[in-house]
Amino acid sequence: MTLKAIERASLTEDKQVLICTQKVTEQDDILANDLYTVGCVARIKQITRIPAGAIRVVCEGLYRARAREIHVEEGCFTTVCDEIESTHGDEILEEAYLRTAKAIVKDAFSENGKFPKETLVKMERIQDADEYMNIAFFSMRVKLEIKQQALEERDIIKRLQLLERCLNDELEISKLEKKISASVRQSIDKSQKEYYLREQLKAIHTELGDNGKEEDEYRAKVLSACLPKDLEEKCLKEVDRLGKMQNSAPEYTVIANYLDQVLALPWTTETVDTESLDECERVLEADHFGLEKIKERILEYLAVLKLTGSMKAPILCLVGPPGVGKTSIAQSIARALGRKFVRMSLGGVRDEAEIRGHRRTYIGAMPGRMIYGMKNAGSINPVFLLDEIDKITSDMHGDPASALLEALDPEQNSTFRDRFIEYPYDLSKVLFIATANSLDTIPAPLRDRMEIIELSGYTLEEKVEIARRYLVPKQLVTNGLTNEKAEFLDDALSFVVEGYTREAGVRSLERTIGSLCRKIAVKQAKDKTLSKQTVDKHIVKTLLGAPKFTLDESALAPQVGAVTGLAWTAVGGTTLTVEATTLAGKGEVKLTGKLGDVMKESALASLSYIRAHAEEYGLDAESFAKTDVHIHVPEGATPKDGPSAGITMATAVLSAFTGWQVRGDLAMTGEITLRGKVLPIGGLKEKALASRRVGIKKVIIPQGNEKDLESLPKVLKDEVEFFPVSDIKEVFDLAFIKEDNAPKAKPRKKSVKQMPVMPSENGGRDSVRCK
């Protein structure tokens, strides 16, 4: 556009053109907004064409002007401009500033060659302050912004003040040049004394011969690091930049930190996996009891890897209640495979930059936690644990779950790009293992990229075995005891599990055993002559006091309007008592107990079914309009939600209307429809364990869950009797105590008529948060 503007102006009679400066001089494609609106109107005196299609233009400045509006016309910028008139103030003050400026120019620049002699002679003769400043600013090497400020300023005195500041800066720099050295000829910013001093210090280091030592060290490290070719070239360029900088420069630290981080990463280092499947299985069995699914999956991966020679590592997600061994099994997997282990806790992470890192332009920028973990691992194929992946949150800084999508996608993670490293890093050989208590809070796209393996809670027998094999020996060593000092009997461990802990995992069990060991250690410390302490039920009760949890036999007695339901939570299964009562009113329904929307809808569906079939149960249909129903689930401070309490609510409501007693030794779980169908639920094992813990040995389950009984532990199936049902009428036959005093439906051991099942969308799991 500049060439076209010159050509167009040269064809006019006055050959005038408005010369404006670009705001960003390096920018090639510019718009009207990229130009300053104040410039100089000049007359083209001569145009000379030079090779490569360029031209040299000689112009004569006429006056300062401001463009009204710049627009594009015939391929160049055109405008209408107004001349900027200077405003005079105190004439004496103007004269004083002018004389001061002339004195500085004469003293500072008459001998150093920064001003041509012809210019100095011409300036000495000028009496007009405006003209003098125009020549001075044109001749001085000051920042473009300062020249533009001087060009735009109307007030003569303010322009003179600006000129005096620039001249004083130039005078100070000239004094420094004479004082330090004349060896550095590079052009410097007139206002930056510090930059000039650093350049002089660099020249001193060069003379002393201590420059480039660190540069050589970095260059040798880059060449020996086996980096990818293009990354190696990039790092060598950074080393070259480093060699041209002073150690005290801020950019020096940024480049050095970048090189340190890149060189610390493993690019080709890889550990060798365990060859023997038997050895791998032995290590997994030695460290953990149970957890068969995850052990089987790791052996499958190792077997396929051994047969094929290479394969993409799986991305596993272990979902289960706290304390079942999700984190510790990941450590055992790393030990069994012979790999390095890295753990990254995601609980509370809410900034996307924690995963992807910050750009190098930020002060204190560092790589993300993914790259940081790989640096700590020291190999490209570690076992990488993403702990508590369901606890990540998002805020204004981004969504960390979205940042994990690339890392956990087998098709993309071979080119994972961290913002700090700015180079694709291969994560395809990393065995990612994520842990979570619940899948509900994990975004669907992230959940889809992981292979879900559910870990259920432990039975009483499994907890006793875990305590005997792992927890007791660990706590004995921790508390300074040995097998010769203390011995735990199996009945004592069973008593601790049933009386002092109520959990799906074994964390509370380990703490309780630790408490017993500490109390025994106190006795041993006080009396060195004490013999071996054998811990039985009596000793446990003596040391820990009365059991915290006991079976309430009265709770198993038949009741009217109270039914025991089963719920799944993120920390295991639990029992919920649903209470219902009727009272005179206007047919209103009151729901209390901090119930969620889904649970409220289940209550309304239950009541609607009973009203629709009132005659079958001897109820007057008109009585519903005169009767209020109140449904309450105790522990009102605990939020409760989910559809699996549907049949429980229906049974409680019908009991409240009819006065029929409900069996107290029976628990139930299942979703109900308006047609009375019972739909399948999730978390069957956790719910069955919860039922067993409170002494209830009969459980009604949806017929759609009958297939899940095969995966339950044998001891659980032997102690708990399950009744699969497909219709709410079967539930009523089993739950209510009538004249024959026996349930009409048959347990699962005998044939049950198969009914079509419509699975619920969310698997029927409650999202109760228990204390």
Cα distance between residue 734 and residue 667, in whole Å: 10
Q: CA 594, 596, 602: angle at the middle one, nearest 5?
A: 115
The active-site residue out of 456, 606, 644, 655 is: 644
- What own/partner pairs with CB < 8 Å and gap ≥ 24 does 404-408 have? 404/355, 404/446, 405/445, 405/446, 405/449, 407/355, 407/370, 407/432, 408/315, 408/432, 408/434, 408/446, 408/449, 408/450
Cα distance between residue 412 and residue 94, in whole Å: 70
**What DSSP designation does 127 have?**
-
**What DSSP designation does 585 have?**
S
Residue 306: name the closest of 272, 342, 332 by CA: 272
644 annotated active-site: yes
Contact 207, 218 (CB under 8 A): no
Radius of gyration for the alpha carbons in the chain, expressed in angstroms and rounded: 42
Beta carbons within 8 Å of 352's beta carbon, 6+ residues apart: 397, 398, 399, 400, 402, 403
Residue 645: name the closest of 504, 503, 771, 760 by CA: 760
Cα distance between residue 416 and residue 723, in whole Å: 51
Strands 572-584 and 562-569: antiparallel
Contact 247, 316 (CB under 8 A): no
Indicate if the alpha-carbon torsion angle 514, 515, 516, 521 is positive or negative.
positive
Indicate if the alpha-carbon torsion angle 442, 445, 446, 450 is positive or negative.
positive
Residue type, 493: L
687 annotated active-site: yes
Residue 496: name the closest of 481, 478, 508 by CA: 508
Length of the chain equals 771
Phi first, then psi: give them for residue 727, nearest 5 degrees: -135, 150
Residue 606: name the closest of 527, 675, 657, 682 by CA: 675
Cα distance between residue 40 and residue 291, in whole Å: 82
CA distances from 703 to 69, 716, 723 (A): 80, 18, 8
The active-site residue out of 485, 687, 698, 767 is: 687
Return the biggest CA–CA distance within the chain. 129
Q: Which two tokens stand for residue 406?
A: 């690339």
208 exposed, middle or buried (CB, 10 Å; 0-12, 13-18, 19+)?
Answer: exposed
Cα distance between residue 351 and residue 401, in whole Å: 10
The catalytic residues are: 644, 687
